[in-house]
Structure 1
């Protein structure tokens, strides 16, 4: 028996089946005409969780946040032309963070490229510098050999996304007609049955387990003064527990970057050093504290002070991650280990004797606590909205078991500088791959989509907020209420801490970006909740109550960038003096 079919529909239904076989359940869709076959095939399949986002840039970052939260691959569907290019910022971020995204772009037929055809650009490997794999699917063809080739290439792309952890681009070429009841071919029902019996499910292979070389083990074994540095990463759920075990076993303190998340949760103890940036302000500290070894998990440090320390300190450095990524902007590390952190820790615990000397770690813990006490005493009397105190008050006010997305620029630096340790389970998220300020709100909404029951908060500056303002509409459309803590210094506050700020008129006209926008009118106009924070008590109250509301809430704190700069400088000088005095007394 022969039946009439649309070859685009058959092609895409086979693709959808392969997604389902590989347990890719979440799909972000931006509407368009050329992508009709892809969208339709996903839309009619109840297996998938579908998120429709009009703006492709929003969609890409939303998928990024969702993939980070579920720790699994998310598919993104867009139409052809410039819509494809809108995805690039999120793809770059996913590439450097090693977040698995399956980028599915619709395209005109290859023969229309470079002919002036409407909405046609050269999409062939358009993201080549920031993807793990590219597959141009060519035009649908229902011959069995082409269907098998199509399936094998799809499976290969998905395998790479899942195992290498990164974005993969599949480009689908389609000719009209797109709708399923606009027929293009007549084939036998037996052939259709055979097509959908194709099943070449890719199993993710664990790969060969890496072991540590003897010289690496000897290096760790013979060192007494070591540091464990944890930067941002997509750590496994049990990593923090095992990292603390390693710290106690070696008597190496853990320097926890603010983006790492290691300062928050049940594993927190005295081995974790959260004020290392403050200690680095002391000349006496730099002169007297000389680690012999630094073991680094995750990404590079957030702060420039820590980066300079890495560059200038006379210590061996071991960079550990499962992909062998060279996360070392200081260019001083000699040892890059392509090994899963859990395997590294297990080998060290099993093959190196426990270190009993605790003089080194006790000394650093004492100095860390000294800096923490000084920080609390310094911030306590401040009544104006200083960003450093915003961080400590926020961490103190957040409920146990919540998500916190932190924007780039000043917010993540302030978290790194000022965030205190707490036993509360705060899941921290950052976009520290390329560290841009675009797509931050969309990423937070993607995180919320996975964990609807957890209160989700976003700490963001005014410029990053403006960059992604249109994503607030997605919060309403998708019923994803989050709380946004908006620090408004009227644009460009971070530049006042840079040397260019001394260049008068040039700095004022070309670096500062005052906007004088009333965010209240914009936010209320969208039907979201808005509140301008009056004082610190009001701030804490709003943090507690906002998460119970069923709409997105924006809590605005207006700060003065110049005053904040002066307070920061005063704090750094005072804490440096405190630490210097400690060395003078000894």
Structure 2
């Protein structure tokens, strides 16, 4: 087998292998050549070459999101690293284990005007779980090329380290840092950054490993919930007739169904689930905005919960946020092993556990259900809203809302559904999806910047077909995602093109003015047709409901290439249809 000659590169590659980081996304560059040589010559790794670093990082994020396992991205030095930042921040807020491996120049070449050089140390410090800054291997000073000789007065610390340091000490330091970073990504479920300085020559190889780094086991930190916390929760639970459970982003099968079934049996409990929660029960309350939006102030006051329990990732629905901020529960408990957001400004209990651990400890201790009609009242509201919802959709013209109804119903069962941000995920919240679907959306930062790349990364490692539903601005913004030779043949993109940022037409503002059209809605006449031709994706389009219905079946059929269905909707009526929808529900 061929290995990079540089011991530091061997150390990084071997420890990634020991930690079972299998998927490596590499962007081309010279300074990262030792890592590229190491990863691509070892058959253990599945390596992907993606030129655009921003797309590469989101592609890696999609793999890690789907597998819930650490995935690594590798880049050269300089601004290449900064292009990872959007995906790093998404991983940080979405608890996704992303390992960033950045090549760097030696210290003495930083800050002197050398090319492709920035200050890479701790560059992600506000959105990273751990930053490891590795040390340059000691080289025989006689072998340092003339152009790399250390200036007499330049960086004394670096010179002393190279001249007086010991390679063994540096090797030990680097092994400790790499182990700590990768273990943190796994145990902490989040992004880490390993910055790796390499000196030239970069492309030399050897046939034998020069180092044998040792992998350090992750320290077990599992602990049970303190009994006094459970006892306090139990007392409050048994006396509260109005309890609300609100669930944000969850991975499929993250919460055991038996605990969900038990919650559904309690008349004092209602469970609101978002589209991204991947939780289902006939007694639960999906489509939150549909239920909440038409409530009067009197109804909201009546339905104000005594106890609010939240778990999962960030919440999409602005309407539930407004409701719970205006009519705060007496108590808000958030269940999460890492952190708790005070989203509704009334958090008073962070229970450091998984939902399964909490419910397994709490629910069996409940000996009676408090008398309550809380769920029955909400169920009555839900039934009325569903009837209104159906009646409204029967009478509306061709529009985004009508298209989302048809598209979401068409997604084949047992598929992975990736949804773009902005209007796409908000429309999806209005419809009940098949419980056979695994649903994902980048809600950590809620940005539109990498949705397509994430969906493709997820599709690459999914046994099931992946369907990506997105809006036009998000799609065109991330069009380099298609510059990718790994897209599965069964990958499908539904692009809903309303010729701009249609969501801005729903928000307050002076619509239909030059200023609004150019700087908010950003209207355009772009189409994905030529992109699809360039990247070898089968293209289909529709401008009417009849065309959609005629094409949708063949769209999902087997093919020799990925497919994209572009649906053009009327730009200027979508906002009116949606705003009238909420008026109709009243």
Q: TM over 0.5, yes or no? A: yes
Which of the residues 125, 128, 151 maps onto 2:175? 151
For residues 45 and 250 of structure 1, what CA distance do their matches in structure 2 show? 57
How far is the alpha carbon of 1:357 from its aligned partner? 3.6
Q: How many residue pairs end up in the alignment? A: 554
Aligned partner of residue 401 in structure 1, secondary structure: coil
Matches within 5 A, 1:541-580: 542-547=551-556, 548-576=558-586
Secondary structure, counterpart of 1:72 in structure 2: coil
What CA deviation, in whole Å up to 9, does each residue of 1:237-279 have, x standing for no partner? 44455334333246412111122222xxxx4312334345433
User: What residue in structure 1 maps to residue 29 of structure 2?
Assistant: 32
Output the CA distance in 2 between the equivalents of 1:302 and 1:252.
21
Q: Please state if 1:530 is matched with 2:527.
A: no
Give the TM-score, by structure 1 length: 0.89
In structure 2, the CA distance between the partners of 1:395 and 1:512, relative to structure 1 (3 Å rule), is closer
Q: Does 2:279 match 1:279?
A: no
Matching residue within 423, 427, 441 for 2:438: 427
| Per-residue CA distance 1:512-556 (angstroms, 9 max, x = gap) | 211211322332233211111243354345443323223221111
Q: Which runs of 5+ in 1 are unaligned?
A: 184-188, 577-586
Offset of residue 558 of structure 1: 1.4
Aligned partner of 1:202 in structure 2 is 217
Q: Distance between the aligned counterparts of 2:431 and 2:572, measured in 1?
A: 22
Q: Which residue of 1 aligns with 2:153?
A: none
Return the offset for 1:371: 0.7
Deviations 1:405-424 (A, max 9, x none): 111110111112x112534x
Alignment of 1:213-292 (within 5 A): 213-234=230-251, 236-239=253-256, 241-249=258-266, 251-262=268-279, 267-283=280-296, 284-292=298-306
> Is the aligned partner of 1:306 residue 2:323?
no
Q: Map of 1:102-501 to 2, 5 A cutoff?
A: 102-141=99-138, 143-181=167-205, 195-196=211-212, 198-203=213-218, 205-211=220-226, 212-234=229-251, 236-239=253-256, 241-249=258-266, 251-262=268-279, 267-283=280-296, 284-355=298-369, 357=371, 359-384=373-398, 386-416=399-429, 418-423=430-435, 425-451=436-462, 453-474=463-484, 476-479=485-488, 481-501=490-510
How much has 1:324 moved relative to structure 2?
Answer: 4.1
SS of 2:332 mapped into structure 1: strand
What TM-score does the superposition give when structure 2 sets the normalisation length? Answer: 0.89
Q: Deviations over 1:440-472 (max 9, x none)?
A: 110000110111x31111111111011111211
Q: CA RMSD in A?
A: 2.4
Of residues 17, 21, 27, the one that matches 1:20 is 17
User: Any conservation in 2 of the 1:259–1:429 contact (CA below 8 Å)?
Assistant: yes
Q: Secondary structure at the match of 2:334?
A: strand
> In structure 2, do the counterparts of structure 1 residues 541 and 232 end up closer, same or farther at CA, with 3 Å as the change threshold?
farther
Asked whether the 8 Å contact 1:383–1:535 carries over to 2, the reply is no
Distance 1:78 1:97, change over 3 A: same
Unaligned 5+ segments in structure 2 are 139-165
- 1:561 is paired with a residue of what secondary structure? coil
In 1: Cα distance, 2:452 partner to 2:46 partner: 20
